[in-house]
Amino acid sequence: MHDRSALAALRIDRFVRERLESSIHRAAEPLVLEHWNAPGEPVTFDEAAAGEYRPIAAGDRWGRPWGTTWFRVRGAVPEAWREESGDLPAGTRAEVVVDLGYTTGQPGFQCEAMVWDTAGHPVRGIAPLNNAVAEAVAADGSIDVYIEGASNPDVGSLFTFDPTPVGDPSTAGTDPIYTLRHVEVRLRDLEVAALLADTRALRGLAGQLDAGSPRRADILLALERMIDTVDPHDVAGTARAGRAVLAPLLASPAAASAHTLHAVGHAHIDSAWLWPVRETVRKVARTFSNVLSLMDEDPEFVFAASSAQQYKWMKEYYPDLFERIRQRVAEGRFVPVGSMWVESDTNMPGSEAMARQFVAGKGFFLREFDLDTPEVWLPDSFGYSGALPQIARAAGARWFLTQKTSWNETNRMPHHTFRWEGIDGTRLFTHFPPVDTYNSVISAAELAHAERNYADKGRGTVSLLPYGFGDGGGGPTREMTQAIARTASLEGSPRVAHSTPRTFFETAEAEYPDPEVWVGELYLEFHRGTYTSQLATKQGNRRSEHLLREAELWATAATVRTGAEYPAERIARAWETVLLQQFHDILPGSSIAWVFQDAERNYAAVARELEDIIATSLRALAGTGERTLQVNAAPHDRSGVPALGAAAAPGAARTAPQPDGDGWILDNGVVRVRVDARGLVTSAVDLASGRDAVAPGTPAGLLQLHRDTPTQWDAWDVDVHYRNTVTDLTDAVDVRADGDAIVVERRFGRSRIVQRISLDAGARVVSFGFDIDWQETQKLLKLAFPIDVHTDSATSEIQFGHIERATHTNTSWDAARFETVAHRWIRVAEPDFGVAVVNDSTYGHDVTRSARAAGGGTISTVRLSLIRSALFPDPTQDIGEHALQVGLVVGAGVVDAVTEGYRINLPVRTVEGAAHEIAPIVTVDDPGVVVEAVKLAEDGSGDVVVRLYEARGVRAAATITASFGAQGVVETDLLERETAPAAVRSVETGVDSASATLTLRPFQIVTLRFAR
């Protein structure tokens, strides 16, 4: 038999394109349109309804960039469409179909709209591939609705990464950017739509089957017979007969061994990205209203959405919509997932901030829906911290889902279902959907890929399929649910079933109770530039996290000691702002300029609020007198000031530089530092051991400038080829001793850096302060410390501990980890000598090994990525003035690194006019057991909550003592719910104090609740 399959496929595709798709609607009639342009930012429905509307017609331009145009749409279903009974023909439906002028870009990245009824209730959203609104047609056939059109510019959905001015409203322009195509009432033929869905399901399947497959031949033959059956000039009249031809093919069941995909409706909506946060609020409303509408159409459809923040927006701005959501949540069809405030980055948020993502997120879902969400849902974050399993389990989560690791450039993860073990040994059941997308459209190609790709065949038979338009929102469509109906059990295809995340995870865990284990972080071999992009935002995050620590500590102490009112609502608002801005396209620096302008304003407002709380609390604690106090919010004593307390101690003095030939010496009796005439550190000797931290012949504190032109994804990526071009910034405009510091000025390109090198009395930290006027583009500035230490690993601080990473490139996994993230410190060491580098705002690092210049062996070069300047999506990224601090800790153990990391981020405060010192509210007798947070309980009971962790990575025994009376001390989870003791061994309570004796595993997090 001759093979005509290629011609058959061409024939089928053309018939679908020219006949079926064009016959979905039997008739169309334009509606009467008027419009009103909202001035400035979006307005409420009442303001819009009161606007002065003017006529607009198809072909007219509308919508300035980031503007809002309201359309008034009126008309009726034509009487000519009705039968003698007055009803529409059987198997048809009237609907309003809107084309605002959609581009070829992706849904969610361009213009979209919300339909409102005349009473001011949101009806549903409109997007390029989901633009039919049956709800706009009243029961009597009349049409009278408003359409809130958002003329969002397409910043770059085709991802050519071209610089664009439209990400900033001040440079985006004011001319209309869209052309209205049509707003019509149309008569939808449901039988033709069903035939189209049948045909697409089978044609897609045929495209995935082997060329020699009998099933493929049967499908192509049946599709050609369908074409012969359907009259191309009367598709509506013959569609039912065409469906009958295909019915036997669709009824043939899947193989017994077929993989099963649990289809979960989804719309991964970025809380900001190529649009500002304010637009995300509207995107969420449009998407959620679409979902609710689809639930009315399809009783099997289930939708899962994460991010408590997005639900809170609905409650605040769309209360009617929120109540509809609440009803569907109670039914189990609208499923809150994820347990977190937002789908945050997990690399850069600090320890307590990562915990608070769960406290705030789970707390909201418990209060609003009485749901304790059991999963962590992070499909799109840029790598996953090794501390996350313990944090998630401590919040009560059981399961973890992501898809992002499928983006790895070099290595493929060996599992799709496994247990993920964190740095403390906690394990979390984890799944990567093998479909390799969180925006599936239920295509045959995606289903086939998921089945073929699933790495755990023979042990597991199920995977999760998140489907729906996402990133910019939109969610599932009726075409997608129709595809699920046809692939529920279809020969040649995996099974597809409507499901929920809980149902999937329970099924997967039951059939595969003892999966393989992956240990340590889930490093994403991609998007490494996100550790550095948008320095000001990263500094705002770091500073806010530490201000929140101080505000809670001192406000708690003031409440307990003086009876001052605890500012719970103010602190909660500040936390919510900070947590929102840890979203995985804000804190990583991968959004448009508008997003970062908002972020910096928000951080400034948070700082003002928290500084006021801190000042008020300290004044209540210190009273009014004539003493000057040094206030220490860090968990370690410093310069005579107790941890978490305040004392009348002198401030730290600095060592004055002494001339030494053509350079200077800084010597405080602990460390001896030499700075040469170029302003570079050539030696930093630990005087107790005689070890020089600086490798011979290689200056430390060396600024290095690299070309930074990633292959793709500009703000996201640092590619390894950046190392091919480097300029050492050794030339100085000026080097001089200035009081207690050596000041160095360097100029390059159009930029200027002023550097201050200093050494405090009694300290082992060489301090480097930088004032940077950065005017470069597509450049990366690194700060290098060649350390005279031979080691094959570096230790980096992450949340509640640290992680070891190889500094060699033995394997492809090691080589791919050429840029890594660390929090406040990174350390390299031999067994008897270590050196740490601490910072106040840097996250990106690299550590490499090279041959020692003299005497053999190797050295370890620690470099910090200080600043970079990508052109997309923000062409002005990081241009401007910045200040940051770095410290070289000579002879540093892990506790020294931890201590100095806190010190550089929590500078001692001075309180003038105090009456008395402030005793610590709690003390711990082991410096390796670190107090991370002191606060009042979330439930308003007045109980004091203390969170601490073991920081060295060893087993520890410690006693924590509270300087206030307590009725009892219990161990809790992160949500402050009592748990069985895991660390507490004994408790003593009294009128004036309470204590608990603890034993901790390496890196164990412990939350204690002191009942007052």
Q: Which two tokens stand for residue 974?
A: 């992160």
Strand partners, 178: 62
Residue reference for tokens 């001319």: 175
Helix orientation angle between 319-331 and 277-297, rounded to the nearest 10 degrees = 50
Distance CA 208, CA 444 (A): 7
Distance CA 339, CA 407 (A): 24
Whether 486 and 247 have beta carbons less than 8 Å apart is answered as no
515 to each of 403, 415, 420, 626, how far by Cα in Å?
Answer: 18, 9, 10, 65
- For β-strands 968-972 and 956-962, DSSP reports them as unpaired
- For β-strands 375-377 and 399-401, DSSP reports them as parallel
Query: By C-alpha distance, which of 775, 781, 774, 780 is closest to 709?
Result: 780
Catalytic site includes residue 380: yes
DSSP structural state of residue 967: S
DSSP one-letter string for 199-226: HHHHHHHHHHS-TT-HHHHHHHHHHHHH
What's the per-residue H, E or C state across 110-147? Answer: CCEEEEEECCCCEEEEEECCECEEHHHECCCCEEEEEE
Distance CA 36, CA 51 (A): 6
DSSP structural state of residue 79: G
Whether 372 and 502 have beta carbons less than 8 Å apart is answered as no
The residue annotated as part of the active site, out of 380, 456, 717, 840, is 380
DSSP tally for the chain: helices H, then strands E: 18, 53
Q: Which two tokens stand for residue 299?
A: 């009783």
Q: Which two tokens stand for residue 770?
A: 């930088």
DSSP structural state of residue 177: -
Which helix or strand (DSSP H or E) is residue 614 part of? helix 593-622
Query: By C-alpha distance, which of 871, 842, 725 is closest to 772?
Result: 842
**Burial bucket for residue 233 (CB in 10 Å: 0-12, 13-18, 19+):** exposed
**Burial bucket for residue 99 (CB in 10 Å: 0-12, 13-18, 19+):** middle
DSSP structural state of residue 1002: T
DSSP one-letter string for 407-429: G-SS---S-SEEEEE-TTS-EEE
DSSP one-letter string for 652-704: PPBPPPEEETTEEEEE-SSEEEEE-TTS-EEEEEETTTTEESBPTT--BSEEE
List active site positions: 380
